[in-house]
Amino acid sequence: MRRRSLFVGALITLVVAGFQAPPAIAQPPIDDSVDIRVSSTGITTAPDTLPAGNATLNISTDDPEGTWLHLIRLNRGESLEDYLANLRTAYGDDDEAGLEARRAMAESVQLLGGAIVEDIPVTVDMVVMPGRHYLVDVQDATEPDLAERVRPVDVGWTAASLPSALANIGPDSRPAEVAVGSPHSGRHAAMQPPGVDTTDLDPLSTSTWEQRPEEPSTDARPSRQQIIEIAGDHGIVFSQQWEWKWEAGELVQSGEVQSSDAQTASSALITIADTPEGTRFQVTGQPTSGRPIVLMNWSGQHNEAILAPVRPGTTPEDLDRFFQSIGGGAQAEQVDSPFIGSGNGSAPISPGRIMTFTADYPPGEYAVISYVENLETGVMSSAEGTHALITIAPPVTQSLPEDSIVDSEESSVSTEVEPS
């Protein structure tokens, strides 16, 4: 297949005054993750089943071409055969047919998350609901044995899979239906406790559940869960250590840390949102090597966030010129690449979905980019301005001292921009 080069997705970095990292509380680490290994011949190591709730996937590859590993769930009435046929067409030689195939795929599946892995293993966290899912390496799109390379994964409830963030849900808790297509919904991150019949629930309109903050969790397990409250909808974010909520149109940080130390607390939030200028990345916090980054997709279509190292001093204008040269066809002016290494990060996620990704990025200057095509224009997202410049800080080597812990009532962060 045509390999997607690193040097091809313009982002606006929002500088947030007064950002404070979440306080750290030392806790024994919990490792309930699963390993997924990908080679040039396909997915060689992967689970057959996963418990519903928070899924942590450690994704690595020895394929020199890397892997673009997706965890997908088919929408009701859709077939795997049709999805794979569209996937082949999307990465074929007919650009017009490829765009139509991408549009069809966007309507047929939910992209739950995954990783773009070139040279650094990536750990991803996402919420999965009961049902049949599939692991697909998009690098295999034009392989003759594509169907045999796809790995089915069955998700079901277990006694241990109820997140501790929902452990206190009682009979007074109420589900709230979330409108399909709502850009501010947390529907795809919704959880349902065991005992709730999910058979007749459309995966596009699952119910969400509200945790009453006055009733703290009694679960003794250190929790890696956090409640995300977006425009009144309630979703679960995973492997995060603080609570975010909307107040008067602003996204603010509040609430106490559930667990974790400074090595595992989330370091940054990347939001993909539609703006009058186009789809843009909004970055809050300080991305740190080895610490999770939250990715929230509030745009109107699936998208991704790949972190690629750039030359020191690279500017947004440099990225604009480069990506416009890539997207301008054979007649476009050729521009030297600002990139000095491979990109690693999240696979595309569907609108309204939340995930995290973690990797041991070498500290330095990076661009957040997206190769995903705009389904309306057929142009790569980063060529339309979906990119941002960030600096990745060195890894944290120890927990924060007690005198650095900030009272949750004193800590507040605002992006000052409400996604459209």
Of 14-23, 42-51, 251-260, 291-300, which one has max mean pLDDT? 42-51
- For residue range 87-127, list pLDDT tens digits in order: 999 999 999 999 999 999 999 999 999 999 999 999 999 88
Lowest mean pLDDT among 12-16, 223-227, 254-258: 12-16
- For residue range 126-151, list pLDDT tens digits in order: 888 899 999 999 999 999 999 999 99
Instruction: Flag whether pLDDT at 403 surpasses 90.
Output: no
Q: How far is CA 20 from CA 16, 94, 188, 289, 389, in A?
A: 10, 49, 28, 17, 20
- Give the single-character DSSP code of 259: S
Determine the length of the chain.
Answer: 420
Burial class from Cβ neighbours inside 10 Å (0-12, 13-18, 19+) for residue 172 reads: exposed
Per the CB < 8 A criterion, the answer to whether 367 and 319 are in contact is yes
- What single-letter amino acid sits at 303? N
Quick one: pLDDT at residue 6? 31
Please give the Cα distance from 409 to 420 (Å, whole number).
28
Instruction: Flag whether pLDDT at 207 surpasses 50.
Output: no
Instruction: Name which of 296, 173, 178, 292 is nearest 228 in CA terms.
Output: 296
Quick one: pLDDT at residue 333? 65
The stretch 50-76 carries a mean pLDDT of 94
Q: How far is CA 146 from CA 64, 85, 264, 303, 374, in A?
A: 19, 10, 36, 23, 25
The stretch 185-190 carries a mean pLDDT of 30
Quick one: pLDDT at residue 326? 84
pLDDT band at residue 172 using 50, 70 and 90 as cut-offs = very low
- Residue position matching structure tokens 């843009």: 280
Instruction: Flag whether pLDDT at 388 surpasses 80.
Output: yes
- Give the single-character DSSP code of 9: -
Instruction: Flag whether pLDDT at 35 surpasses 90.
Output: yes
Please give the Cα distance from 74 to 111 (Å, whole number).
9
Quick one: pLDDT at residue 135? 98
Both tokens assigned to 54: 């928070």
- For residue range 254-268, list pLDDT tens digits in order: 443 333 344 456 688
- What single-letter amino acid sits at 276? P
pLDDT band at residue 28 using 50, 70 and 90 as cut-offs = very low
What's the pTM value of the predicted model, to 2 decimals? Answer: 0.69
pLDDT band at residue 154 using 50, 70 and 90 as cut-offs = very high
Share of the chain above pLDDT 90, in %: 51
Pairing of strands 364-369, 34-39: unpaired
Both tokens assigned to 190: 């919704």
pLDDT band at residue 328 using 50, 70 and 90 as cut-offs = low
Q: Which residue has the higher pLDDT, 398 or 35?
A: 35
Instruction: Name which of 183, 266, 163, 265 is nearest 223 in CA terms.
Output: 163
Averaged pLDDT score across all residues of the chain: 71
Quick one: pLDDT at residue 9? 25
Instruction: Name which of 81, 54, 345 is nearest 219 in CA terms.
Output: 54
Of 21-35, 202-216, 238-252, 323-337, which one has max mean pLDDT? 323-337
- For residue range 39-49, list pLDDT tens digits in order: 999 999 999 99
Quick one: pLDDT at residue 334? 74
Instruction: Flag whether pLDDT at 299 surpasses 60.
Output: yes
Q: Which residue has the higher pLDDT, 405 or 310?
A: 310
Of 25-34, 72-81, 180-189, 254-263, which one has max mean pLDDT? 72-81
SS3 content of the chain, % helix, strand, coil (to 5): 15, 35, 55
Instruction: Name which of 79, 81, 82, 70 is nearest 46 in CA terms.
Output: 70
Please give the Cα distance from 404 to 397 (Å, whole number).
15
Burial class from Cβ neighbours inside 10 Å (0-12, 13-18, 19+) for residue 334 reads: exposed
Quick one: pLDDT at residue 53? 82
